[in-house]
């Protein structure tokens, strides 16, 4: 008889999202997608299609092959971090997590609301190896580590932006406040995990009892409590895994910076510095998070890259080309993910049904 690795895992099921909210998200996603397509068309027109095609040819097939390899290494880092996030006695190998991560990324990138199903897709992909609820809990644990490191990465990008460019005082003050808030939250979160304080759930319960945000906290406060118990339980059992997982998540971002540097080095006549690549990757990551409802973040990713390269006097066209090359490698690995879904006999409808059953 199998042993449950954590009693909290059995209750780690997201509460249902009402059809009304889903429909709203679909409408917002559609509007953002159409706006992104319009922005994408404008950017291509403003720079010139011939110029962009020339830069893409300059990059070459060998360069694109290396970009595909770098992106695979990034997915490998997250797959290894997920492997370390599984509770004993269950375990997953890289042969399980790598294809599952590729499937999850394909769902997240291609479908407007794919971000809501990517985690479920990963768990479904490994359900023959571990129970579905174990897969879901381990994905949630890895996502928490990823969110922590991504927050620190974005703070570093914002800090670098402040120290590199002369911005309006309003922007400087706003970014300073954001940096301070994120740093305080991250530090508090680390202390909470080490000391195992249930501050977040107790605060939600306090607000709920006083009728503040009662509609949101009706189920939200329970989710906060469950996630606290999940991560605290993981820390109690595997404190030695925290640093390795964080380093793997950090490697994901470092490889992204190297990828940006390599693309720029192929497009420019002078060797770019890593600061440029770092700003490019941090802006791209922020855009990916904010505009996740837009498939392939079409338009907005190009606009962000254009902003960075134009600000650094590299050229607006170069930024758009960088974004297009990155988009092409996402399309390649998305196609691989779709092939894996077909090979395993999965379907988007099946994944959606499993997610809905978990919400009931």
User: What are the pLDDT digits (tens) for 140-169?
Assistant: 889 889 988 998 998 898 888 777 777 677
The answer to whether position 95 is within a domain reads yes
Higher model confidence: residue 147 or residue 40? 147
Instruction: Report the SS3 class of residue 349.
Output: helix
Cα of first residue to Cα of last residue in the chain, in angstroms, is 27
pLDDT score, position 80: 97
Asked if residue 310 has pLDDT above 90, the reply is no
Asked if residue 73 has pLDDT above 90, the reply is yes
Phi, psi of 137 (to 5 degrees): -70, -40
pLDDT class of 296 with cuts at 50, 70, 90: confident
The answer to whether position 102 is within a domain reads yes
Asked if residue 67 has pLDDT above 90, the reply is yes
Give the tokens for residue 12. Answer: 């780690």
Which residue in this structure is represented by tokens 């919400």? 359
pLDDT score, position 162: 79
Asked if residue 2 has pLDDT above 50, the reply is no
The answer to whether position 1 is within a domain reads no
pLDDT score, position 19: 56
- Give 173-213 pLDDT, tens digit per residue: 877 887 888 888 888 878 887 788 888 888 888 888 888 87
Count other Cβ atoms within 10 Å, centred on residue 276: 20
- Give 167-180 pLDDT, tens digit per residue: 677 767 877 887 88
Give the tokens for residue 227. Answer: 């996630």
pLDDT score, position 77: 97
Nearest to 293, CA basis, from 16, 17, 20, 35:
35
Higher model confidence: residue 154 or residue 7? 154
**Helix, strand, coil shares, percent, the chain, to 5:** 80, 0, 20
Give the tokens for residue 285. Answer: 């990551």
- The least confident of 45-49, 73-77, 281-285, 348-352 is 348-352
Higher model confidence: residue 104 or residue 303? 104
The answer to whether position 184 is within a domain reads yes
The answer to whether position 2 is within a domain reads no
pLDDT score, position 343: 86
- The least confident of 27-36, 248-257, 271-280 is 27-36
User: Which domain, by its residues, includes 268?
Assistant: 7-359
pLDDT class of 116 with cuts at 50, 70, 90: low
The count of domains in the chain is 1
């Amino acid at each position: 008889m199998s042993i449950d690795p954590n009693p909290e895992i059995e209750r780690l099921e997201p509460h249902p999202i009402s059809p009304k909210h889903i429909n709203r998200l679909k409408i917002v996603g559609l509007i953002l997608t159409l706006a992104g397509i319009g922005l994408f068309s404008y950017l291509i027109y403003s720079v010139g299609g011939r110029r962009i095609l020339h830069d893409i040819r300059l990059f070459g097939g060998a360069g694109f092959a290396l970009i595909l390899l770098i992106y695979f290494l990034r997915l490998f880092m997250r797959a290894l971090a997920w492997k370390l996030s599984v509770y004993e006695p269950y375990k997953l190998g890289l042969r399980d997590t790598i294809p599952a991560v590729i499937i999850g990324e394909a769902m997240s990138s291609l479908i407007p609301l794919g971000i809501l199903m990517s985690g479920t897709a990963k768990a479904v992909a490994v359900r023959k190896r571990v129970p579905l609820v174990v897969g879901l809990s381990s994905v949630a644990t890895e996502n928490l580590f990823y969110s922590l490191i991504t927050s620190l990465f974005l703070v570093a990008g914002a800090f670098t932006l402040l120290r590199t460019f002369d911005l309006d005082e309003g922007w400087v003050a706003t970014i300073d406040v954001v940096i301070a808030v994120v740093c305080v939250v991250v530090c508090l979160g680390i202390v909470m995990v080490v000391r195992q304080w249930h501050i977040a759930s107790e605060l939600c319960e306090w607000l709920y009892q006083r009728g503040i945000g009662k509609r949101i906290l009706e189920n939200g406060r329970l989710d906060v409590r469950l996630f606290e118990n999940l991560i605290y339980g993981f820390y109690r059992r595997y404190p030695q895994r925290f640093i390795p997982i964080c380093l793997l998540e950090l490697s994901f971002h470092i490889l992204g910076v190297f990828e940006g540097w390599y693309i720029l080095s192929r497009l420019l006549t002078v060797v770019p510095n890593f600061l440029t690549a770092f700003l490019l990757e941090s802006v791209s990551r922020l855009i990916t998070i904010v505009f996740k409802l837009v498939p392939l973040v079409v338009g907005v990713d190009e606009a962000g890259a254009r902003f960075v390269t134009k600000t650094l006097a590299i050229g607006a066209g170069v930024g758009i080309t960088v974004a297009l090359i990155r988009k092409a490698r996402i399309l390649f690995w998305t196609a691989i993910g779709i092939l894996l879904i077909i090979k395993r006999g999965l379907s988007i409808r099946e994944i959606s049904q499993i997610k809905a059953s978990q919400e009931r």
